[in-house]
A and B are shown apart, each in its own frame.
Chain A
Amino acid sequence: MNSKKLMLDMTVTENTPLGSLYGLLKLVPTDGSPLPDIAAGQFVQVEVSDSKTTYLRRPISVNYVDYKENRLWLLIRKAGEGTRHLAAAEVGKVINVILPLGRGFGIDNISGKKVLLVGGGVGVAPLLYLGEKLKEKGITPDFLLGARSEKDLLQLDDFAKTGNVFTSTEDGSHGEKGLVTTNSAFDGAYDKIFCCGPMPMMKAVAAVARKKGVECEVSLENKMACGLGACLCCVEKKNDGHNVCVCTDGPVFNINELPW
């Protein structure tokens, strides 16, 4: 999908803190214009206008698009100054957003397949919208969500409404104890795995997928400036040795494209 990219002022209509580390922002286009088609796995570039130390936009993955309410959901982890400011945005605040950006998850030929969506930490964000898109295609996805502890598991109710949920926590406070890769969800037979989370987790999931011979896509989050394929800062080296931009060639890659 190659929707025209837009730069939109968006108004915060809801900001729900999720634990101490995360915030869920819901935004509507300030001028009331309808949100464009956004694919699962695409991201947006958000301007941070009121932080003294933040100069560049912050790339944030699309958590969900509520077309009925014309609302965009962004799940934000307070990783630094910029995201802390975003997560603190008050209802009514207007934020400038560029969207939709990047190549999302490959779900064109997914009908009839059994899929597992694996997320860790804030990496669960794009999987909610992906689950919704899969549901529209008649697929009930299995979610495997990992976190350090129960309090770090995000949006469990929303995920449960969309598919079957498995969880892993490192301290065993929710679901199975341990890392996602040891979760019994992997005993199931899947045709495709979609994964988003910390790099070590994605690499471990990719290794499991390879071993089982299951197709697997991962979503990367390299540091970027423009988000448009111009600055060439967010590159990832592909199998063929060439650097490609995560912002335009990704953020989603099939693991067979990567030298993992």
Chain B
Amino acid sequence: MVELSVNLGELKLKNPVLTASGTFGYGEEYADFVDLNRLGGFIVKGTTLEPREGNDYPRMAETPSGMLNAVGLQNKGVDYFIEHIYPRICHYDTEVLVNVSGKCVEDYVKVCEKLAPLEKINAIEVNISCPNVKQGGMAYGTTCEGAAEVTSAVRKAWSRHLMVKLSPNVTSIADIARAVEDAGADSVSLINTLLGMAVDVERRRPYLSTVTGGLSGAAVKPVAVRMVWQVAKAVSIPVVGLGGIMNGSDALEFIMAGARAIEVGTANFIDPSVTMKIIDGITEFCDRQGVKDINELVGII
């Protein structure tokens, strides 16, 4: 049986399969379909300092092999998370990562300060790549200066594992990755959604209330694999790959391209038990090909 555990720096995962923020709620939503304790970890919904109602409906449009969303970081805020949600999910035998977002650098820092006393949270994923908010979000993730500014400020407020989630909506994602590595990130995850748009021609208007939204699902996978490969060559910190992973074979593409761990997102909407199948798929592949340790496959391309 293959050894599946991987280390992201100091953060130890029992296997490389995480769930992507915004697609897995707080884990509980999937408890009827998934043994959460089997996951490498799950990353909860993007959390902000203040509660956010998100964007107006409609927020979703199906596209070829994918979907656009414009949720806009709807969440009840970090205080609600700490008081009501954390106590319900802190007993799982898996890593729980909080995805942190903000409209200004100070917001990111304050959220991290509030999360710091939570013993179960060994890592945060800093979201500098949400395409669906007017302030903050992707604005920071599309320049090296902005990405570094958020990362170094958070670094001072957060001593445990610091993952930064990168936007694909840039000219050179490797440059951004290097900037956040230099600013103190422990790992990078990529890709967040690709900025997209769809038009309802019968009604002559966009499908989304915000006109544009974030594209995810199988459609984005080749772009994501390419970016993971480029970033893995550019930085020495671990890379976490995501974007359109539907099965074990997709996950292995990212791993071979340089990802130490992967996140599963939109696929959870189609098959809520897909993460279990992905773990099984990776295991089956490794056993069949005689791979003793998943780490042997990381970045072989």
Contacts and interface: CB of A to CB of B under 8 A. Distances in A.
Interface of A: 4-7, 47, 53-57, 98, 222-226, 228-237, 241-243
B23 A236 contact: no
Given A55-B62, A55-B217, A222-B57, A232 B74 contact: yes
Contacts of A237: 57
Contacts of B57: 222, 234-237, 243
Given A7-B272, A241-B53, A233 B71 contact: yes
B268 interface: yes
B180 to A, nearest CB: 27
B77 interface: no
B29 A229 contact: yes
B285 interface: no
B22 A231 contact: yes
Interface residues of A, dominant DSSP: loop
B270 A98 contact: no
Interface of B: 22-25, 29-30, 32-33, 45, 53-54, 57-67, 69, 71, 74, 217-218, 266, 268-273
Contacts of A232: 22, 45, 54, 59, 71, 74
B272 A98 contact: yes
B34 to A, nearest CB: 11
Contact of A230 (B23, B54, B61, B63): B23
A184 B62 CA distance: 41
Given A5-B32, A55-B270, 4 more contacts: A54-B62, A233-B71, A235-B54, A243-B74
Contact of A223 (B53, B58, B65, B268): B58
Contacts of A7: 33, 271-273
Contacts of A236: 57
A226 B269 contact: yes
A231 B60 contact: yes
Contacts of A5: 32-33
Contact of B64 (A53, A98, A223, A241): A53
B67 A55 contact: yes
Contact of B24 (A47, A57, A230): A230
Nearest to B27: A230
Given A55-B218, A233-B60, A228 B67 contact: no
Given A7-B33, A55-B218, A236-B57, A226 B64 contact: no
A234 B65 CA distance: 20
Given A6-B32, A223-B60, A233-B59, A56 B54 contact: no
Contact of B29 (A98, A225, A230): A230
A7 B32 CA distance: 9
A231 B69 contact: yes
B74 A235 contact: yes
Contacts of B272: 7, 98, 226, 228
A260 to B, nearest CB: 14
Nearest to B26: A230
A54 B58 CA distance: 18
A229 B23 CA distance: 10
B25 A229 contact: yes
Most chain B beta carbons < 10 A, residue from A54, A222, A226:
A226
B262 to A, nearest CB: 19
A123 B135 CA distance: 40
A232 B72 CA distance: 10
17 contacts: A4-B32, A7-B272, A7-B273, A53-B64, A55-B63, A55-B65, A55-B67, A222-B58, A223-B60, A223-B61, A225-B69, A226-B268, A226-B269, A229-B29, A233-B59, A235-B74, A241-B53
A226 to B, nearest CB: 4
Contacts of B32: 4-6
A30 to B, nearest CB: 16
Nearest to A241: B53
B117 to A, nearest CB: 27
Nearest to A4: B32
Contacts of A233: 58-60, 69, 71
A156 B183 CA distance: 68
A232 B25 CA distance: 9
Contact of A242 (B24, B45, B53, B273): B53
